[in-house]
Structure 1
């Protein structure tokens, strides 16, 4: 069980490498929620993630012989980059095993920081097993992504910064994958500000900590399924779970659509790019996954910004769909002059903007004298979508909403 003294010691080792990241009041999110929301912008950390802190602290504690032998780790991406940079700065050789389907941007970044990257397995657990084989074969020190006291203490330096920069904080909201981040932050926050709540957030598709708390012992999931790849972990750590049980007030989950909305809203309203794992605290606030009061001072720890650009495109589109900003519908028209113009006239009158139109005269679902039409539309919100669909149906169109 790590204590405040461990986190304070970690700060002395970490502060020369990791940045003290901003914590700023958000007018936009405060207005949207009624709370006083102060995001902790760890997305602006070097490597784009908090993982640098724990990796730096762990590597700083290696003996001379361990430094000479090098380190190895497994990671979905952010811990990989943290270990790579921390090891390179300490002149320690590093090998990082990443899942075969890790985001390309994270793989390239890890290599650019100086690590040898090995791609292996479908998920983090498979990559971890391969990393332990390399550990045994080469005599390297394994740097765990979360279940290590020095790693937890390094991540806990974020908690010190939160309490110092926002001393009146009521609630801190933190992502949970393996649990190293929240274990460290909760240790620092509860020691410095005992009345402050610490809320953990997991993706619905990877709820190991939530299920473990419900059962009273650690539960290993059969699989994970979430866009938040940075917290797609099948099992919370043994050491981290002890801290979570003792110092975390509540653990909640959010869905992938809620995460997509948070990413999209952060990008649009705050001009801040956050990956899925880093966005879950804001998703929990927006979705009211836990109870909070008006003007409650809430600090969501936005702890990762390394989202794959292909994933970003998909996530933003899903976020627009979920908030009624994008609509794809299908309907059937008589295959005669003027039919499409009449449909477009209704859409135009309702002030929706057309992105694309596709005709299909060969669909087996339509008659020989009809044509199937799919239309992509820019809309202005859920009420606007409802009004448009009502008007189309009132005008005699049988409409299917595709997305």
Structure 2
């Protein structure tokens, strides 16, 4: 497993290439959630999500032969945009495999950054693997990759550098890439900090994996927080979460929707539902506040027509 030196090295390599996103406080949110909350605003990151951290770090570490073949990933949307942007920046051809039912704005974003988008029905992972092997492309897994995890660790470093008084970090969880990196950095810097992952009740493959004692699959995962509906728990991610995360909690889709609306109303931040999931855990009382709580606002690529419908 990578250590703190590797995370710091990743952060150094990303410096100047991506944004150092702000920590935002809101007295209205403190009153709403009955907690002292600070938001790590990754919705202001390049491509509108945290995903560029890990994916760009991965691309920077590819060999010349891997770069020449071109890169491919599979994604609900944000990883697709991140790979497309990072590959364009690096001068690499990129292919992304997405569900035909993915958020249209996320599909168009990947195309706008120059990626070849393959829309498929059914087994996304199977389609990704088949296209990768047939075209001899270099696979960039969106979460189950040590370089991707290490790149995401840069977010954890920034949280504790900017707010060393943070007691609890809340992180949205899909396949586990983001929380793996954040928890690694946070726990190695301050072992006593509390790291809590939050999943939708209907897309809880990581919680199921921890309960089963091994990575599980959940091909039927669905949620209004589309970015968290991962069909599998990554093998590497399972190990990091098992070793570094204090607790996993599940929240309802209805709480995610209501929290998204409340946060948008109180702060004017256009966060996507996946980014609201950690705050939904406070809203539903699934997490007991303790000291200063940092919540990772993971992205802002929301489908406005879906989340704001009456």
**TM-score, normalised to structure 2's length?**
0.97
Structure 2 residue aligned with 1:312: 307
Q: Rg bigger for which structure?
A: 1
Structure 1 residue aligned with 2:296: 301
Distance 1:70 1:185 in 2: 28
User: Which deviations, in whole Å up to 9, do the C-alpha atoms of 1:109-154 show, x marking residues without a partner?
Assistant: 11111111110124xxx22221211211122100000000000011
Alignment of 1:2-401 (within 5 A): 2-122=2-122, 126-293=123-290, 296-314=291-309, 317=310
Q: What is the number of residues matched between the two proteins?
A: 310
Secondary structure of 1:186 counterpart? helix
Q: CA deviation at 1:225?
A: 2.2
User: Which deviations, in whole Å up to 9, do the C-alpha atoms of 1:12-44 show, x marking residues without a partner?
Assistant: 222222100010222111122232100111111
Distance 2:147 2:52 in 1: 12
Distance 1:108 1:84 in 2: 11
Secondary structure of 1:178 counterpart? coil
Secondary structure of 2:249 counterpart? strand
Name which of structure 1's ranges 230-239 and 209-218 shifts more when overlaid on structure 2. 209-218
Higher RCO, Cα 8 Å, sep 6+: 2
**TM-score, normalised to structure 1's length?**
0.75
Contact 1:75 1:128 in 2 (8 A): no
Distance 1:263 1:222 in 2: 25
Secondary structure of 2:23 counterpart? coil
User: Which deviations, in whole Å up to 9, do the C-alpha atoms of 1:180-233 show, x marking residues without a partner?
Assistant: 000000001111121110000000001111122122222222511210110101
Distance 1:16 1:138 in 2: 33
Structure-2 change in CA distance of 1:128 and 1:234 (3 Å): closer
Name which of structure 1's ranges 261-270 and 3-12 shifts more when overlaid on structure 2. 3-12
Contact 1:13 1:56 in 2 (8 A): no
Q: Which runs of 5+ in 2 are unaligned?
A: none
Distance 2:6 2:126 in 1: 29
Q: CA deviation at 1:2?
A: 2.6
Distance 1:243 1:69 in 2: 30
